[in-house]
Amino acid sequence: MTKTERLLRELIALPSVNPAFLPARDGRAGEQRVADFLAVTAARAGLDVEFQVVARGRANVLARLSPRGRARQRILLAPHLDTVGAADEQFRPVTRQGRLFGRGACDTKGSAAAMLMALCELAQSRQRPAATEIVFAGLVDEEHHQAGARALVAGGGRADLALVGEPTGLRAATAHKGTLWLRLETRGKSAHGARPELGRNAVHVMARVVELLQTTYAAQLRRRRHPLLGCATVNVGAIQGGQQPNIVPDHCHILVDRRTLPGETDSGVRRELAGLLRRKNLPAALGPDPQPPCPPLATDPAHPLAARFLRSLGQRRPVGVPYFCDAAVLARGGIPSVVFGPGNIAQAHTAREWISLASLERGRELLLRFLRSLP
């Protein structure tokens, strides 16, 4: 068993479910166990370790390798430490036919293991960069509000390039979609179910809104394309309205997931939707956003360090990924970001999440090659 596999098994066995997905005081919630374990591992390799408190019981872990001389640039290795929820057996890692199964195996404890092991190996070798500081930043809360990445930027965190750990199949991605969750509400007038003509049914109005979004609006978005990301999308993911069958409902709301492309803005999307509803004479209003938006990512692949990373991978052109992650938050804070890591997003969040051990080791090797190439 390699050191990277051993570390990943240990990380999987430490539950770090985002507290947003569990009841209060659930013992599996929070990233601190994982952060503490990574801190000990990094310190043993001679890295300088500190914590950045993000919320009570939740902290980013930062492990720093200083260069031999004066630092002229900084590289950030930034996986996230939280996972989505899982059954208890998913926190017991199992290896079968070259695959390691367990919650977080690919999203993104695999990236965390590969990145930290590459940095530890570099720290213990004689090939430490002369002028590049390298910081491993294990971030909290990516799966919910990206509070860890937001705190890092707000706290003055700066770097010349961030490699953000996500399961990209070891392909460097310079673009990803953003997400804007919207709440749309319709109001009506309640009445007895025996006399529906005396009321105004808010659910009926919302049904027309949903039909508009999934047909006319979705077709409009399909004509809006990005060379790496394809088209923008809209999905109505939840609906709630009414109390019981014999009452005409006076209120209904839906939650909408709008995946945005580089160049689109949150305010522009809201104006677009409001205008469409107005033109179709549908009395629906935008309510407060269910959660903070995550912007899209668009890093220039010609950026010197991004281009250097692509060359080190032997990758001629960057790719894009359809999901959002911490990369865009860091990029908006002034840190050029590239998404990269072992594993496949198709396995993330599933009941049998897994990562190829060959991909895990290859990820460590590729990261180490890039880090060794830095001045």
Digit-coded pLDDT (tens) for 70-91: 999 999 999 999 999 999 999 9
pLDDT digits (tens, 9 = 90+) for 176-223: 999 999 999 999 999 999 999 999 999 999 999 999 999 999 999 999
Predicted confidence band of residue 127 (pLDDT cuts 50, 70, 90): confident
> Facing residues of 223 across strands?
none
Which stretches does DSSP call E strand in 191-283? Answer: 225-226, 230-231, 233-241, 251-260
Flag whether pLDDT at 164 surpasses 90. yes
Give the per-residue pLDDT at 13.
98
Flag whether pLDDT at 281 surpasses 90. yes
Helices 357-373 and 304-313: crossing angle in degrees, nearest 10, is 130
Residue scoring higher pLDDT (331 or 25): 331
Instruction: Single out the residue of 234, 224, 80 nearest to residue 166, CA to CA.
Output: 80
How far apart (Å, rounded) are the C-alpha atoms in residues 329 and 313? 24
Bond preceding residue 350 cis, omega within 30 of 0 = no
Domains of the chain: 3-176+296-373 (3.40.630.10), 178-286 (3.30.70.360)
Give the per-residue pLDDT at 292.
86
Give the per-residue pLDDT at 328.
95
Flag whether pLDDT at 309 surpasses 90. yes
With contact defined as beta carbons under 8 Å apart, do 120 and 42 qualify?
Answer: yes
Predicted confidence band of residue 100 (pLDDT cuts 50, 70, 90): very high
With contact defined as beta carbons under 8 Å apart, do 168 and 340 qualify?
Answer: yes
Query: What percent of the chain is modeled with pLDDT above 90?
Result: 96
Lookup: tokens for 79: 């996986």
Give the per-residue pLDDT at 290.
87
Flag whether pLDDT at 289 surpasses 90. no
Instruction: Single out the residue of 345, 346, 353 nearest to residue 102, CA to CA.
Output: 353
**Residues ≥6 apart with Cβ < 8 Å to 125:** none
- Which residue blocks in 216-356 are alpha helix, DSSP H? 218-222, 266-279, 304-313, 326-332
How far apart (Å, rounded) are the C-alpha atoms in residues 79 and 112? 5
Q: What is the mean pLDDT of residues 137-148?
A: 96
Taking CA atoms, 105 is separated from 92, 114, 148, 167, 362, in Å, by 11, 11, 20, 10, 15
Flag whether pLDDT at 276 surpasses 90. yes
Predicted confidence band of residue 237 (pLDDT cuts 50, 70, 90): very high
Q: What is the mean pLDDT of residues 111-127?
A: 95
Predicted confidence band of residue 60 (pLDDT cuts 50, 70, 90): very high
Backbone angles phi, psi at 162, to 5 degrees: -115, 130
> In terms of C-beta density within 10 A (0-12 exposed, 13-18 middle, 19 or more buried), how is residue 334 classed?
exposed
Q: Torsion angle of alpha carbons 25, 27, 29, 33, nearest 10°? A: 130
Average of per-residue pLDDT values in the chain = 96
Predicted confidence band of residue 104 (pLDDT cuts 50, 70, 90): very high
Query: What percent of the chain is modeled with pLDDT above 70?
Result: 100
pLDDT digits (tens, 9 = 90+) for 19-46: 999 998 899 999 999 999 999 999 999 9
Give the per-residue pLDDT at 24.
83
The single-letter code of the amino acid at 249 is: P
Instruction: Single out the residue of 358, 360, 298, 309 nearest to residue 331, CA to CA.
Output: 298
